[in-house]
A and B are shown apart, each in its own frame.
Chain A
C-alpha cells in the first residue's frame, strides 16, 4: 500500500479542502446556523480546515451541514472531470493538453474531499440525539454515521481517491451505455 501523510495529501489537493469547508459554511448560512470561525485551508496542519458553528435548528439542517460537502464536492467532481474521463474512457484519447490536466487535478482534488469527516458524522449524530430523534430519523442518522466512519477508516486504502475516480467515471459510462 502506498502511504502519504495526510497533510501532504491535503496540500496537493487543497482546492478540495477549500470546497469542503465552503460547502459546510454555505449550508450553515442557508439553514440560519451561526458560524463562529472558519479555516478554509491550513497548510501543514493535521486538520486542514474547519468550520465552528452553533447548534443547527433542526435535524434536517444538521444533516445538510454534515453532508453538504458530499453533495457539492461530488457534483463538482463529476462536472470538472467529465471532459477528461470521457476522452480517456470512451475515446481512448491521450491527455497532453495542460488545460485538461488542470481540470483533472482540480476535479479529482475536489472529489477526494467529498466524504464527510468523522467529526462531521459525530456532529450530526449528537444533534440527532439532542433532538431526541427517534424511529426512522435516528436509524438514518446512525446508518449514515456508520457509513461515514467506515469510509474514513478505509482512507488507508485510498477510498477517497477511489470515490473520486468512481464519480468521474459514472457519467461517461452511463452516457456511453445509452
Chain B
C-alpha cells in the first residue's frame, strides 16, 4: 500500500554569484577599445596644448606689434592644427604686419571671415589688398 504524505516545500535555491572579474568577451573588447581611444586622445594632448600656448604667445606678440615674432608662434599653431580658424586669421594678420602680403593672402584663400575677423585683419592688411575682399551671403 502506498501512502502519500505532504512534503515540506523545498527552500528557494540560493542565488549563484557570478565569478569575480568575469566579464563577457564583448565587454572586454569594448573596454579595450575605450582605453585605446583614451590613450589616443591623450597622445594628441601635448601637441595641442603646445599649440594653445603658441597661440597665446602669438596673440601677445601681435598686441605688442611684434609681427615677426607673432608669425613665428602662429605658424607653429597652423602647422599643428591646420583647421584652426583663429590661427589662420591671426597668422594672416601677422604676415600682413610683417610685410609678407602674399603669404597672408595665400592663407586667406577660401576662408570665410566674420566681421570680427575682418576688423582684426584690416589693422595690418594694406588698403590696396582690402579691395580684393567682398561681402558674401
A99 and B89 CA atoms in complex are apart in Å by 26
Q: Is B109 an interface position by the 8 A CB rule?
A: no
Q: Is B4 an interface position by the 8 A CB rule?
A: no
Given contacts A79-B41, A91-B51, A103-B40, contact A36 B15 (CB under 8 A): yes
Q: Is A54 an interface position by the 8 A CB rule?
A: yes
Q: Is A25 an interface position by the 8 A CB rule?
A: yes
A93-B83 in contact (CB<8A): yes
A92 and B41 CA atoms in complex are apart in Å by 18
A76-B34 in contact (CB<8A): yes
A37 and B48 CA atoms in complex are apart in Å by 43
The segment from A58-66, A80-88, A122-130 found at the interface with B is: A80-88
Q: Which residue on chain A has the smallest CB distance to residue B28?
A: A22
Question: Which of A18, A79, A102 is in CB contact (< 8 Å) with B42?
Answer: A79
How far, in Å, is A152 (CB) from chain B's closest CB?
25
B34-A91 in contact (CB<8A): no
A79 CB contacts on chain B under 8 angstroms: 38, 41-42
Question: Which of A86, A91, A175 is in CB contact (< 8 Å) with B86?
Answer: A91
**Number of residue pairs spanning A and B whose beta carbons lie under 8 angstroms apart:** 88
* Number of chain A interface residues as a range: 35 or more
* Number of chain B residues close to chain A: CB under 8 A: 33
Question: Which of B24, B37, B81 is in CB contact (< 8 Å) with A93?
Answer: B81
A93-B84 in contact (CB<8A): yes
A2 and B121 CA atoms in complex are apart in Å by 39
Q: Is B23 an interface position by the 8 A CB rule?
A: yes
What does DSSP make chain B's interface, helix, strand, loop or mixed? helix
B86-A92 in contact (CB<8A): yes
How far, in Å, is A34 (CB) from chain B's closest CB?
4
How far, in Å, is B63 (CB) from chain A's closest CB?
17
Question: Which of A19, A54, A94, A106 is in CB contact (< 8 Å) with B17?
Answer: A54
A18-B84 in contact (CB<8A): no
A34 and B22 CA atoms in complex are apart in Å by 12
Q: Is A110 an interface position by the 8 A CB rule?
A: yes
Q: Is A35 an interface position by the 8 A CB rule?
A: yes
How far, in Å, is B96 (CB) from chain A's closest CB?
19
A87-B81 in contact (CB<8A): yes
Write the residues of chain A forming the contact surface with B, with a CB cutoff of 8 angstroms. 15, 18-19, 22, 25, 29, 34-38, 40, 54, 76, 79-83, 86-87, 90-96, 99, 102-103, 106-107, 110, 175-176
**Known contacts A15-B30, A106-B34; can you find 19 more A-B pairs with CB under 8 A?**
A22-B23, A25-B23, A35-B18, A36-B17, A36-B18, A40-B24, A40-B26, A83-B45, A86-B48, A86-B52, A87-B84, A92-B87, A93-B85, A94-B85, A99-B40, A103-B37, A110-B34, A176-B52, A176-B56
